[in-house]
A = this chain, B = another copy of it.
Amino acid sequence: MHLFYAPDLVKDDFLLPEEESRHCSKVLRLKEGDLLALVDGKGTLYSGHLSKIESKRCKVFITGEDKEFGRRPYSIHIAMAPTKNLDRTEWFVEKATEVGIQEISFIQCHRSERKQINPERLKKIAISAMKQSKKAYLPIINEITPFSAFLDTTRAEKTFIAHLEEHNQQSLREVFIKNDAYCVLIGPEGDFTPGEINLAYAKGIKPVTLGPSRLRTETAALVACHILHVLNEVLT
């Protein structure tokens, strides 16, 4: 069944957004009565059928509503330095959305070669991945923020910095608390600077290691996200 994204559904008037209406009527050539599903990106999965087709306004008759669809009792926030090669950051956004993530932030670090991102473009990638993986929650994707400003917004006791310097880091497993809200900081190619690491420590943020492999920025970001999923599933 086709799945559409409709973030601003108004009760009793279930219109698909313009772009989704066009996709529905022109590309997929669906007909009145065809079954479909909608997600609002805020946790609700609707099922229904097409009740009216216009090229820019397709209307849906809703027959089922599944709130908090696929909701997990924990949340994952990854704050990463964007990669020099933007493809790698886009890839992370796609894969993390498929695997499941609540929030993605971008931090501007001293050694970041890339200072800008396009959150709208990344949001489109996340929407596509959300639909592809049949999820009802769209991750929040934030604008890029200077590293120190980001630290002021995060709760230190739930935030971890994954850096590569030798500081006797614990593994994510050792600091893990089940069903919590986690934030993991992932540095740029070339890693966080000692100054950035000390700034994080001064805020009470603890260092973690993601395992023995030296990972690229975007791989580390996905691995951190996925470790937290597996630990929540496996550990009691």
Contact = CB atoms under 8 A, between A and B. Distances in A.
Contacts of A134: 213-214
Contacts of A211: 229, 233
Interface residues of A, number: 29
A120 to B, nearest CB: 23
A156 interface: no
Given A213-B100, A213-B135, A226-B226, A234 B233 contact: no
A70 B229 contact: no
Given A133-B214, A212-B70, A219 B171 contact: no
The interface residues of chain A, by DSSP majority, are classed as: helix
A84 to B, nearest CB: 14
A173 B227 CA distance: 14
A24 to B, nearest CB: 21
A196 to B, nearest CB: 22
Interface stretch (A4-12, A52-60, A91-99, A102-110): A91-99
Given A91-B91, A95-B219, A173 B234 contact: yes
Interface in A54-76: 70
Nearest to A134: B214
Interface string A206-220: 000001111110010
A36 interface: no
B98 A233 contact: no
Interface string A134-145: 110000000000
A149 interface: no
Contact of A99 (B91, B99, B219, B235): B219
Given A98-B213, A173-B233, 20 more contacts: A70-B212, A95-B219, A98-B215, A133-B213, A133-B215, A133-B216, A134-B213, A134-B214, A135-B213, A171-B233, A211-B229, A211-B233, A222-B222, A226-B226, A226-B227, A227-B230, A230-B230, A230-B231, A230-B234, A231-B234
Interface of A: 70, 91, 95, 98-100, 132-135, 171, 173, 211-216, 219, 222-223, 226-227, 229-231, 233-235
